[in-house]
Amino acid sequence: MRKEFLGISNLISLNHIGIAVYSLEEAIARYSRMFDCEVLHSEINEEQQTAEAMIKCGGVQIQFLAPTSETSPIAKFLDKRSQGVQQIAFDVEDLDLACDQARGLGIRVLYPESKYGTAGSKINFLHPQDCNGVLIELVELQKPNFSNG
């Protein structure tokens, strides 16, 4: 019989692969020339101090992340490792539950409370040292609001 699963039980799907870049415009232009991508969305995330653009490429979302300040986590990543994959993000049904389940396994969750992510989502991160060097973002998408319907 299968042992009871005690990890993150409500993973839905890959949301995106996040790539730290020096310039959003340069990265979008390069990937669009290479792969015939579609630009889905772009915004400034003040809290994370990043400029973000989501493109669709081979059926998957790729998020380019550029720093908007020297204290941005992306600026630190670029200083240390230069451009490259900085995170992979999975959608979860319930972010607070997923974070509690991760903590229950002894996996460090970066923030005590969820942060504001792209397009109204709630996000948090699993510590890369607990995930074989991979910064894993967990995303709870904004639910449609039908309360006024």
Binding site for its own copies (CB under 8 A): 5-9, 11-14, 17, 19-21, 26-27, 30-31, 33-36, 57-60, 64, 81-85, 88, 90-91, 102, 105, 107, 126, 128, 131-134
Smallest separation, CB 56 to its own copies (Å): 11
> Min. distance of Cβ 123 from its own copies in angstroms?
15
Please state the closest distance from residue 146 (CB atom) to its own copies, in A.
26
Measured CA to CA, the distance from residue 120 to residue 30 in angstroms comes to: 27
Q: Between residues 13 and 147, which has the closer beta carbon with respect to its own copies?
A: 13
Closer by beta carbon to its own copies, 46 or else 129: 129
Q: Alpha carbon of 132 to those of 16, 22, 69, 113, 128: distances in Å?
A: 18, 25, 28, 23, 6
CB of 127 to its own copies, least distance (A): 12
Quote the distance between the C-alpha of residue 35 and its chain's center.
Answer: 22
Which tokens is 62 given? 């790729």
Cα 27 to Cα 25: distance, rounded to the nearest angstrom: 6
